[in-house]
Chains A and B, each alone.
Chain A
Amino acid sequence: MRYLPKSPEERRAMLAAVGCDSIEQLFAGIPEPARLRRELNLEPGWSEPEVLRYFLERAAENARGFTSFLGAGAYDHFRPAVVDALISRSEFYTAYTPYQPEISQGTLQAIFEFQTLICQLTGMEVANASLYDGSTALPEAVMMAVRATGRHRAAVARSVHPEYRQVLDTYLRHQGMTIEEMPYGEDGRVAEGALAKAKGDDLAAVVVQSPNFFGVIEDVTAAAALAHESGALLIVMIAEPASLGIVRPPAEADIVAGEAQSLGVPLSFGGPYVGFLATREKFVRNMPGRLVGQTTDANGERGFCLTLATREQHIRREKATSNICTNQALCALMVTIFLSTYGKQGLRELALQNLAKAQYAAERFERAGASRRFSGPFFNEVVIRGVAQRGTAERLAAEKLIGGLELGRYYPELAGDVLLCFTETAPRDRIDRLVEIYSS
């Protein structure tokens, strides 16, 4: 096998050195009944051209050359060429978790920069080195609130990403929690009074998402006030952090968590993505996941290392703040490079263009007689009422378009409504065509 650096002769020599005359002897420790006494029922190894051809054929079975208007937790923003050029440095992508800081300073400093960037974006004081994705960041955040408050009830907005809420249910099923759902109102935000209803001194956390699943920006200030009245923590989830280029960060929150795919990570059919979790310094020891800290070496030189590991499973075992070990470091690096490249102006411009495109599209729909389902302010996603039947996959595909998400799948009450996303990558004429198809 071409990946294996041994000649038959070298194998013989090594076997001899260990005093075996057959490779079989090395497996003597495995009792006979546990041995596989046949070849695996797989094909013989393929050459590289065959492997490449196989995936080229699979790729050709997917959409190629389409303009997509899907968002719903996975966003298509332009990735500068430098991102891939730099994460392809093998010292980054073929390294393990930086357990040996003296030969891992590259990864460690980059993560420290990631933690800083997330703090700057979210308005929080500390951020961790990443979590699996936005959906798993939600239960991690809620469990953190439980640890911080010692309470076991959470109120979660129905406008939080439905798949995130499904993951929350799965994760917390055996944690003795009660989870209440807060309905949304006509404006698409958490409904009037829903927050008030959630109040109580057993309340651990209030969870909202902003922009929420409908693209609507929530009133974080109000949510914070009510959460804090009950001595609960406010958790703000963010699935489209590009919004933070222009939208005020949820600084009143106690925990800001979410998905950073939108900032430089390829769509890649849903993963790998990168979850983030940020909070206030006072909660740092309740945080899940890895943290990189600054320190000095023997000569007083600045350096970085993993720190506060006593929160983690490999030391705390069953008392750990989470079981997470491997996280999404390379995706966090993509985000770090993406944000460094766009920079202060670039990220703002990115957000403004998304805002403008979504506004333009919404207006077009309005003109075409298709109205928005919700009245609240929105960033780059908008729900259009009752147009699903017209925008069939077939009609759209004929025009090399991928339309929005039919909401009935997650919200029976919104069946027929479509969630559409408009980023800087959608040309005006394609938006116009999309609107025509959906409204005729």
Chain B
Amino acid sequence: MTLTRNGIAYRVSLDLPKGGYVNLGIGIPTLIPNFLPEDTDISIHSENGILGVGPMAEPGTEDPDLVNATKEFVTLNPGATIFDHALSFTMIRGGHITHAVMGAIEVAANGDLANWSAPGEKVPGVGGAMDLAFGVQHLYIAMTHVTSKGAPKILNACRCPLTAPRCVQRIYTDMAVMDITPEGMMLREYAPGLDPEAVQEKTEPRLLVADDCRPMEIPERVNGVRLVAETAAS
């Protein structure tokens, strides 16, 4: 069994501390706020100058002056603040943002990240990804373990252009939770029903297995949202 995209988001949400300042990339990370308890006081940061981003705006109530970094219409939570790009990237580059969660095209065993320039993409675009990868205190990756064609995305070395070298701290996938450690990539948890060997099979670098490596504790559903996939991993 593997996790759904919501399941990956749920698992990340468990590791975001109370009062954290968190920047969420596009894709799976945008699902994380649905799983944060109400009293966490976690502030979601958006590069375009918002701290305290709330839920997406209900259709018909969008404010044209209020979008997030993905240009979606959002709302604001109580205590939200607005600022210009200079202060927004002071927060990022200056190490004030505690966590960024973003997707990846490739992650290497040493923590190298490639997520801004995909093979075959003709028009490059980097946005705030590099500043985040170089600047935040904790960089987490949330992604599917393999490509849609089944190829590993966790590699011995990245082949795509780097976003930043040695920046990733932890990877969350549909199969596992892994830490980048000085000794190498360490498996911490695997999806319910899998085992370390199954994860290793889809992972290019040799995985270290943590002493307390264990199956994830993850409910099948939360608030009616399915966290564990119905079919077994391919």
A binds B: no
Binding site for A on B (CB under 8 A): none
Binding site for B on A (CB under 8 A): none
